[in-house]
Amino acid sequence: MSDSSSHQDSASQEQAPQQEVQIHYRSDYRPYPYDIERVHLAFDLAPNATVVDTTLTIQRKTDADDEEPLRLDGVDLELMSIAIDGRVLDESEYRLIEDGLEVLNPPQSFELSTKVKISPDTNTSLEGLYLSSGKYCTQCEAEGFRKITFYPDRPDVMSTFTVRIEADAKEFPHLLSNGNRIEHGDLEGGKHFAVWEDPFKKPSYLFALCAGDYDLLTSSFSTMTGREVRLEIYVDKGKLDQCHHAMESLKKAMKWDEEVFGLEYDLDIYMIVAVGDFNMGAMENKGLNIFNTKYVLASQDTATDTDFIDVEAVIGHEYFHNWTGNRVTCRDWFQLSLKEGLTVFRDQEFTADQTDHGVKRIEDVKVIRSHQFAEDAGPMAHPIRPDSYIEMNNFYTVTVYNKGAEIIRMYQTLLGRDGFKRGLDVYFERHDGEAVTCEDFVRAMEDGNSYDLKQFRRWYSQAGTPEVEIKSQYDGDKRQITFTMKQSCPPTPGQEDKAPFHIPIKIGLLDDLGNDITLKPLALGETDARVEGDIVHLTQAEQSVTFDDVPETITPSILREFSAPVKLKYDYSLKELIFLFAHDSDAFNRWQAGQELFSRIIFGLCAQLEAGEALVFDESLVNATKNLLDDNELDGQFKSLALTIPGVSTLIEQVSSINIDHLIEARNFVKRQLAEALELDLLLHYQTNHHVGDFEQDKESVAKRALAGTCLSYLMTLEKEDVYQLALKQLDNANNMTDASTALQLIVHSHYDDKLKVAEEFYQKWQNEELVVNKWLAIMATDPSDETIDRIESLLDHPSFELKNPNKVRSLIGAFTGANPAQFHRGDGRGYRYLARQIKALYAVNPQVSALLTGAFNRWRKFDSARQVLMREQLEDILKMPELSKDVYEIASKALK
């Protein structure tokens, strides 16, 4: 990436003020010249005057320059004292600099003591130490520790930490930090203390502290070597009954990691604290995981089936980080995908083993296609290992996380499950207790399998989504089919030309009954791709592969399991797609065939609208959909996914530009026409699957609720009173949040006059359950009707909303921009102006969340010229804001480039 302050186009230079920014480059990495062997922290907690005493045991490295000062990071810290080996320094021996502190001419080996004062109650950024709902909490990843004390706040500086916490005993009876508690007791003046010691070296981003009055759920887990680990979950008072699913999920994750990867937990205690004000989903701090309440609290009354799955997945994700992130961590933040991509892959595999592999794979690919492909094609495109950044918080992206997981999955595809496990074993054996790079991981995979991954490394350095175009030719005389494959990758910022990737393409050939035939590849020449089992290795810009003994009536099934994060171009006929939709043994490709059917028909309708023609519906989709509905062998969740029409964001990424009004109209038309043609079938399947008896969370019940909800959503497009009454009845009789929230959304998004009355009754019922209220906010924000912007404007002052709370912002403003295309992309620009106002109100309060919202403008060039002008105006206006945060500046300036 280039320096955004010096490479803006001329229009941006005229209208957007230049801002001094520091760009960090991966190529500039230098090891820290000092070892921080031990860290002793002492906190005297007070809302606006917390005092932090820090003692660092420091040793200059043998190869470090004796003249080089000791530089420590620090932001918003009031320095009260500084000393070396007990001697107070005078002002000539140190200097305060922007964002830090320098100690001049320090000795080779010494103890540095600092005392600083911070104000947790005014820390609205939710980074560092902050006060939330009367409780103290920390968030230090990526660079929040520098808001707590002066320290080299980088992941390659690893130390052992001892932490002492003092606070009022009545207000804060629980004082928590990393590791094991080794001491606690009472103090004068109604205070008490606790001392925590973490025996494992860790970087500062894994430090954690929580202090408050919580309800506590306890349990235990026996590891594979017979050690007893105490498990604790801390939550707000009155929420204990919503923690049991999280506790069971934790035990499942611990057991799964032992059985699948042979990885055992290493401390005597594992703690989780649920926090309502949190920028992220959760944080893997060693032994003390801090979670957004969204990913801890779950009961049948308050959580949907998706929530239950998400809680289990995130609990697993943070636990799995104990090895892939904590025991082995990142050398620098450019290597973030080293821990996040790997751990996302591990949590995906965990969830698949608990639920359904095919359904889980589809869900994961939906995220890639709707969000990551858009990021790859936009101004923030970057490889999974970026080369530069202005603000690190902007690179906690779907590329680093989800595409990173796809790259890890390809290792397993290439090496097999056993081979992947061997490589991971080598990785841990070599690097336990170290801060390493992506290259170290690749090398471990190579050495564990004697496999050359030189070309595969390009996935780490090249941005963008590769496109694979495949054409087939059948030779009837030889009974052979030849596939010619071409790969390319569009230019991305800073990368015009791309070298060929190593792309594993899983392939199947179906006979006329839908059975997979045995693949018999022929090696005919140097340009032929290598084939191993059902995997074709595409490694050149153009290659071919030929299969022998193939009947004329075969149908190819290409890119099974989405074996690589690419865009596939293969000219399937409508007949072939319908056949795959009905018969493919690969769940992903069966679903994909249906998605391709939907997409083709929708874009055909868009062309009709563009030409001013009357819309004509393709009836072939009706029979295909009916056959799917009636297939009793299929899981209800798969049916629900297969019946769900591709979302607007996914459809947008399939074309270079789009008339958004036509796209929304065409998509709605398809859903309504299917509902009209299959009304009785949909009603029958709704009634068969909608269950009002005792609540169950088993796989079959979850599948039934999913299919019933999808059928009802189709029926509601008919705008019939009897269907509306069905939705009202489901809401009134619901004994679980899945049925209740599904019905509420369908009602609020309908045209019926009493929908706001129904919504208000729901709010009144659940107003004391914050996570349910957040669902209500999102439902209100995604109503496609023209009154929605007025409604969400008023909700900014509603008791349910708080601008400083990230969950509230994501539920109301984020849901509006991301899931209400009809209103966000209004032709009059009101949606864009609404978002820009919220960004301006938020950037000084919480830069991370404000930057996240700014990203909604990234794809402005996808739309018609009038909307481009409207979005560009808002971006330029945002860049004119005084003291604009680095987070927002980076997103907005790159969008305009």
pLDDT tens sequence across 428-438: 999 999 999 99
pLDDT band at 41; cut points 50, 70, 90: very high
Is 644 within 8 Å of 362 (Cβ atoms)?
A: no
The CA distances from residue 726 to 38, 542, 748, in Å, are 64, 55, 14
Q: How many CB atoms lie within 10 A of CB 270?
A: 22
Please name the amino acid found at residue 125: S
Q: Is the Cα torsion angle 880, 885, 890, 892 positive or negative in sign?
A: negative
pLDDT band at 2; cut points 50, 70, 90: very low
Is 109 within 8 Å of 58 (Cβ atoms)?
A: yes
User: What is the pLDDT, as a whole number, of residue 19?
Assistant: 61
Q: Is the Cα torsion angle 570, 576, 581, 584 positive or negative in sign?
A: negative
Could you report the per-residue pLDDT of 546-565, keeping only the tens digit for each? 999 999 999 999 999 999 99
Decide if pLDDT at 600 tops 90: yes
Please name the amino acid found at residue 702: V
| Cα atoms in the Cβ-side hemisphere of radius 13 Å centred on 498 | 27
Decide if pLDDT at 11 tops 50: no
CA angle, residues 221, 274, 290, in degrees to nearest 5? 75
pLDDT band at 587; cut points 50, 70, 90: very high
Tokens describing residue 387: 């080369």
Map residue 533 onto helix, strand or coil. Answer: coil
Rounded CA gap, 591 and 251, in Å? 33
| pLDDT (mean) for 542-546 | 97
In the beta sheet, which residues pair with residue 96?
Answer: 101
Nearest CA among 681, 554, 665 for reference residue 615: 665
CA angle, residues 888, 891, 894, in degrees to nearest 5? 135
Nearest CA among 311, 304, 312 for reference residue 252: 312
Rounded CA gap, 858 and 854, in Å? 8
Tokens describing residue 254: 């611990």
Mean of pLDDT over the chain: 96
The CA distances from residue 673 to 606, 620, 666, 676, 678, in Å, are 15, 12, 10, 5, 9
Map residue 587 onto helix, strand or coil. Answer: helix
Nearest CA among 342, 286, 292 for reference residue 317: 342
Rounded CA gap, 311 and 298, in Å? 8
In the beta sheet, which residues pair with residue 488?
Answer: 467
Residues near 837 by beta carbon (within 8 Å), at least 6 away in sequence = none
Kindly report whether the peptide bond that precedes residue 298 is cis, defined as omega within 30 degrees of 0: no
User: What is the pLDDT, as a whole number, of residue 4?
Assistant: 34
The answer to whether 259 is a known catalytic residue is no
**Which residue in the list 284, 312, 318, 363 is annotated as catalytic?**
318
Query: Can you tell me which residue has the tokens 């054409």?
Result: 471
Map residue 514 onto helix, strand or coil. Answer: coil
Rounded CA gap, 650 and 51, in Å? 50
Q: What is the DSSP string of 878-890?
A: HHTSTT--HHHHH
DSSP state of 1: -
Rounded CA gap, 179 and 513, in Å? 59
Tokens describing residue 465: 């989504």
Decide if pLDDT at 680 tops 50: yes
| pLDDT (mean) for 868-878 | 98
Tokens describing residue 132: 């939330």
User: What is the pLDDT, as a whole number, of residue 410?
Assistant: 98
CA angle, residues 328, 332, 336, in degrees to nearest 5? 70
In the beta sheet, which residues pair with residue 94?
Answer: 103
Pairing mode, if any, of strands 228-235 and 269-275? parallel
Rounded CA gap, 897 and 892, in Å? 9
User: What is the pLDDT, as a whole number, of residue 713?
Assistant: 98
Could you report the per-residue pLDDT of 635-671, keeping only the tens digit for each? 999 999 999 999 999 999 999 999 999 999 999 999 9
Rounded CA gap, 570 and 556, in Å? 10
User: What is the pLDDT, as a whole number, of residue 18?
Assistant: 52
Is 316 within 8 Å of 251 (Cβ atoms)?
A: no
Map residue 389 onto helix, strand or coil. Answer: strand
Residues near 784 by beta carbon (within 8 Å), at least 6 away in sequence = 749, 820, 822, 823
| Cα atoms in the Cβ-side hemisphere of radius 13 Å centred on 766 | 23
Pairing mode, if any, of strands 467-475 and 567-570? parallel
Rounded percentage of the chain residues whose pLDDT exceeds 70: 98
Q: What is the DSSP string of 727-794?
A: HHHHHHH-SSHHHHHHHHHHHHTS--TTHHHHHHHHHHHHTT-HHHHHHHHHHHHT--STTHHHHHHH
The CA distances from residue 363 to 309, 357, 359, 377, 461, in Å, are 12, 10, 6, 21, 26
Rounded percentage of the chain residues whose pLDDT exceeds 90: 96
- Output Rg (C-alpha) for the chain, integer angstroms: 28
| pLDDT (mean) for 687-705 | 93
User: What is the pLDDT, as a whole number, of residue 322?
Assistant: 98
Q: Is the Cα torsion angle 739, 740, 742, 746 positive or negative in sign?
A: positive
Nearest CA among 811, 802, 739, 752 for reference residue 782: 811
Rounded CA gap, 709 and 64, in Å? 64
For residues 581, 582, 586, 588, the Cα torsion angle rounded to the nearest 10 degrees is 30
| pLDDT (mean) for 469-475 | 98
Tokens describing residue 116: 């600083």
Sheet with 128-132, strands from edge to edge, namely: 128-132, 135-139, 209-212, 174-177
The CA distances from residue 668 to 552, 598, 672, 716, in Å, are 38, 12, 6, 12
User: What is the pLDDT, as a whole number, of residue 65?
Assistant: 87
Could you report the per-residue pLDDT of 78-133, keeping only the tens digit for each? 999 999 999 999 999 999 999 999 999 999 999 999 999 999 999 999 999 999 99
User: What is the pLDDT, as a whole number, of residue 897?
Assistant: 87
Tokens describing residue 888: 């927002």
The CA distances from residue 24 to 11, 27, 144, 389, 542, in Å, are 26, 9, 17, 5, 37
Identify the burial level of 66 via C-beta atoms within 10 angstroms of its C-beta, where 0-12 means exposed, 13-18 middle and 19 or more buried. Answer: exposed
The CA distances from residue 661 to 30, 321, 652, 821, 864, in Å, are 51, 44, 12, 9, 10
User: What is the pLDDT, as a whole number, of residue 523?
Assistant: 79
Is 530 within 8 Å of 543 (Cβ atoms)?
A: no
User: What are the chain's domains?
Assistant: 36-213 (2.60.40.1730), 329-461 (1.10.390.10), 467-571 (2.60.40.1840), 624-896 (1.25.50.10)
Tokens describing residue 93: 């021996």
Please name the amino acid found at residue 838: Q
Helix (H) or strand (E) holding 435: strand 435-436
Decide if pLDDT at 5 tops 70: no
User: What is the pLDDT, as a whole number, of residue 792?
Assistant: 97
Residues near 632 by beta carbon (within 8 Å), at least 6 away in sequence = none
Tokens describing residue 71: 């530089």
